[in-house]
Amino acid sequence: MTRVRIFDSPAALSRALAGHVARALAAHPAIVLGLATGRTPIPLYRELVRLHGAGRADFSRATTFNLDEFLGVGATDPRSYRAFMQTHLFDHVNLSARRIHFLNGAVGPGRGVARECDRYERAIERAGGIDLQILGLGMNGHIGFNEPARALAARTHSARLKPATRRANAPLFGNRVGAVPREALSMGMATILHARRIVLLATGSMKARSVERMIAGPVTPRLPASFLQLHRHVDIWLDRAAARNLG
């Protein structure tokens, strides 16, 4: 069942969602979280860091898996999604380093990529699966780096990035679109749909059209987020701007 929650502002949404995550951590300290990058979850991470500082969010037994990483960009590269997560969350909370999982973008081509994707799938399985997956929404309806296409990959794979997605990620690369990798590693649609619960967050009017198609349109690989309609426990958290096309 898809439940839609609409908040007055991105700040109000982030506060409520951080509280929700903190309660999930309290109820289930060894929770396995799926995490997303992008501008949208930054205020959520800020709020989680604040709650942690106030003694209200304990990550000491939690495990995390991030959705995606650029291919050819290593973990210590400041432009990596891994570095993004260190800056916005990992450096400020008490997650154990060995329970933070990330796709390694620095793997060699060919077999290296296949082995890395396989390793990630197995690590998720060994952790018992993802309990709560946080997702953002690409302007073109992508989730993770599952881009609109004729067909979607089920499992973790290397994905070719659309020009619009490379433009959206340019700020990480000194605003040089040409410097954004053409490929990335990403959990696949089945990997994502296997999470027990999913919370997708979208804010701002630029996302309104994709939000409308995701919720009310057909399930189609042309809008990967529409596949969330197939999941039992999806919560879509929006601000008013992102929800403006909903009836």
Q: Quick check: is 28 catalytic?
A: no
* DSSP H/E element including 114: helix 111-126
In angstroms, how far is the first alpha carbon of the chain from the final one? 18
Residue 78 or 171 having the CB closest to ligand GLP:
171
Segment 8 to 67, residues that bind ligand GLP, using CB under 6 A: 36-40, 67
Q: Which of 106, 126, 125 is nearest to 116 (CA)?
A: 106
Segment 161 to 220, residues that bind ligand GLP, using CB under 6 A: 165, 168-169
| Per annotation, catalytic residue among 104, 140, 146, 169 | 140
| Shortest CB 39 distance to ligand GLP, Å | 3
| Shortest CB 200 distance to ligand GLP, Å | 9
Residue 167 dihedral angles phi and psi, to the nearest 5°: -65, -40
Residue 92 or 167 having the CB closest to ligand GLP:
167
Q: Quick check: is 142 catalytic?
A: yes
> For residue 208, how many other CB atoms are within 10 A of its CB?
18
| Per annotation, catalytic residue among 131, 147, 235, 239 | 147
Q: Quick check: is 104 catalytic?
A: no
Segment 129 to 148, residues that bind ligand GLP, using CB under 6 A: 136-138, 144-145
User: Alpha-carbon distance 245 to 247, whole Å?
Assistant: 6
User: Alpha-carbon distance 162 to 167, whole Å?
Assistant: 9
Q: Which of 191, 187, 181 is nearest to 70 (CA)?
A: 181
Using Cβ positions, the residue closest to ligand GLP within the complex turns out to be 136
Q: Which of 216, 223, 220 is nearest to 247 (CA)?
A: 216
Residue 111 or 176 having the CB closest to ligand GLP:
176
| Shortest CB 29 distance to ligand GLP, Å | 26
Q: What ranges in 135-178 are assigned the alpha helix state H?
A: 163-168
| Per annotation, catalytic residue among 47, 68, 69, 116 | 68
* DSSP H/E element including 83: helix 81-88
Q: Answer for the pair 156, 120: CB distance below 8 angstroms, yes or no.
A: yes
| Shortest CB 5 distance to ligand GLP, Å | 17
Residue 58 or 164 having the CB closest to ligand GLP:
164
Residue 138 or 148 having the CB closest to ligand GLP:
138
Q: Quick check: is 169 catalytic?
A: no
User: Alpha-carbon distance 242 to 247, whole Å?
Assistant: 12
* Residues taking part in catalysis: 68, 140, 142, 147
Instruction: Note the residues at the interface with ligand GLP (CB under 6 A).
Output: 36-40, 67-68, 136-138, 144-145, 165, 168-169
